[in-house]
C-alpha cells in the first residue's frame, strides 16, 4: 500500500486519544484494526495527516457483563467477539454475526467499534446492534454520551457522532432468541443483504421484535413493518411468512451494483428476514 504521508501516534488512554485528535486540527483519524481506513488510504480516497492508534488502549477492548447488560469494548476484534464464551451463552447472535464477517484475516484485525464508526452500507454489525437495541457509548472533549444504535446510523457512511468523539463501547441486554442471516457478496464477503432479528418470546407468542437490515440501503435500519407484523402474534410459520412478506416494503434508496440489482435486493430482504426470524424462533 502506497498512501500519502502521515504521522503515527499511539494513544495510551481514551482521553489521550481525544487530545491527540484535537491537536491534529482535523488531520487525524483513529486507527484500530484499520480494516475500513487502510483500504481507503491505499486507494488514496482517505489521506489523513495523523493516525492515532487506539488499538492498545487498556480497557478499550474486551467483552464483559456490566449491570445485567453485556458490554463490548470498541477495539474488540471480530475474532474475539466470534469466540467469546460470554456472548455465545448470553447473546449468541453477536458471535455468529461476527463469524460471518470477511475472512479470518479481517476478523483478526477488524474491530467492532471501527465497523460501527465507518458504517459501511453492507457491514454486518450495524444491523446486529440495531436489532439488539444497543446503546453506543461515545466520549468526546465534553464527556460521555450514549446513542441508541437505531439513531446512530443515519446515512451512507454517516453516523451520529461528532468529529471529536470516539466510540468506547456498545451495551445491550442479553437475548438468546435472536439471529442474523446474510447473503454473502462473494468477493468482499460483505452482506448483499443481511437481516438481524431479536425477539421477545413468551409462551410461544412474540411479545415484541426488533428487526434490522443491512446491505440493502444506505445504512443499517429497522424494518418496522416486520416488527409490527410480529408483535403479539403466535410465533409460527404463518406469522413469520406474513412478517417477511412485508419486509423492506417501505425501504428507500435500495442499493444496486454488479452483484445485485435493486429488485433482487428487495426480494432478498424478504428471504433473509424469513431466515433470520426462523432461526431466532428456533432458539
Binding stretches for another protein (CB under 8 A): 1-5, 39, 42-44, 103, 183, 185-188, 190, 258-261, 264, 267-268, 271
Least spacing, CB of residue 275 vs another protein, in Å:
8
Least spacing, CB of residue 185 vs another protein, in Å:
8
Residue 242: partners with Cβ closer than 8 Å, 6 or more residues away: 229
Residue 227 has φ and ψ, to the nearest 5°, of -60, -45
Q: How many other C-beta atoms are found inside a 10 Å radius of the C-beta of residue 88?
A: 13
Q: Which of 149/260 has CB closer to another protein? A: 260
DSSP 185: P
Least spacing, CB of residue 233 vs another protein, in Å:
22
Residue 132: partners with Cβ closer than 8 Å, 6 or more residues away: 91, 93, 94, 149, 172, 173, 175, 178, 196, 198, 210
Q: Which of 16/100 has CB closer to another protein? A: 100
Dihedral angle at the C-alpha atoms of 94, 99, 105, 106, nearest 10 degrees? -50
Q: Which of 139/259 has CB closer to another protein? A: 259
Least spacing, CB of residue 11 vs another protein, in Å:
25
Q: Which of 65/262 has CB closer to another protein? A: 262
Q: Which of 29/137 has CB closer to another protein? A: 29
Least spacing, CB of residue 251 vs another protein, in Å:
18
Q: Which of 17/97 has CB closer to another protein? A: 97
Least spacing, CB of residue 33 vs another protein, in Å:
16
Least spacing, CB of residue 260 vs another protein, in Å:
6
Least spacing, CB of residue 63 vs another protein, in Å:
26
* H or E stretch at 125: helix 125-131
The answer to whether the beta carbons of residues 33 and 109 sit under 8 Å apart is: yes
Q: Which of 79, 80, 178, 81 is nearest to 128 (CA)?
A: 178
User: How far is residue 46 from each of residues 28, 37, 40, 42, measured CA to CA in Å?
Assistant: 11, 7, 5, 8
Positive or negative CA dihedral for 112, 132, 193, 147?
negative
Q: Which of 91/101 has CB closer to another protein? A: 101
The answer to whether the beta carbons of residues 114 and 33 sit under 8 Å apart is: yes
Q: Which of 1/238 has CB closer to another protein? A: 1
Amino acid at each position: 500500500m502506497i498512501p500519502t504521508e502521515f504521522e503515527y501516534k499511539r494513544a495510551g488512554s481514551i482521553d489521550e486519544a481525544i487530545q491527540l485528535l484535537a491537536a491534529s486540527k482535523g488531520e487525524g483519524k483513529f486507527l484500530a484494526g484499520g480494516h475500513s481506513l487502510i483500504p481507503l488510504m491505499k486507494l488514496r480516497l482517505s489521506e489523513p495527516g495523523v493516525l492515532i492508534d487506539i488499538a492498545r488502549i487498556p480497557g478499550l477492548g474486551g467483552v464483559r457483563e456490566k449491570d445485567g447488560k453485556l458490554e463490548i469494548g470498541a477495539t474488540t476484534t471480530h475474532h474475539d467477539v466470534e469466540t467469546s464464551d460470554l456472548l455465545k451463552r448470553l447473546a449468541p447472535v453477536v458471535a455468529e454475526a461476527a463469524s460471518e464477517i470477511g475472512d479470518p484475516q479481517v476478523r483478526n484485525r477488524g474491530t467492532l467499534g471501527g465497523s460501527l464508526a465507518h458504517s459501511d452500507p453492507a457491514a454486518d454489525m450495524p444491523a446486529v446492534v440495531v436489532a439488539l437495541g444497543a446503546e453506543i457509548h461515545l466520549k468526546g472533549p465534553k464527556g460521555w454520551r450514549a446513542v441508541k444504535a437505531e439513531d446512530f446510523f443515519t446515512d451512507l457512511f454517516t453516523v451520529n457522532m461528532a468529529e471529536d468523539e470516539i466510540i468506547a463501547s456498545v451495551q445491550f441486554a442479553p437475548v438468546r432468541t435472536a439471529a442474523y442471516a446474510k447473503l454473502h457478496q462473494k468477493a468482499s464477503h460483505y452482506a448483499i443483504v443481511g437481516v438481524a432479528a431479536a425477539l421477545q418470546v413468551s409462551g410461544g407468542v412474540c411479545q415484541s421484535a426488533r428487526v434490522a437490515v443491512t446491505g440493502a440501503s444506505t445504512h443499517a435500519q429497522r424494518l418496522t413493518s416486520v416488527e409490527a407484523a410480529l408483535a403479539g402474534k403466535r410465533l409460527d410459520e404463518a406469522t413469520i411468512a406474513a412478517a417477511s412478506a412485508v419486509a423492506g416494503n417501505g425501504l428507500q434508496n435500495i442499493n444496486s451494483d454488479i452483484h445485485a440489482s435493486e429488485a433482487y435486493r428487495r426480494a432478498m430482504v424478504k428471504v433473509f428476514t424469513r431466515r433470520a426470524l426462523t432461526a431466532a424462533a428456533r432458539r
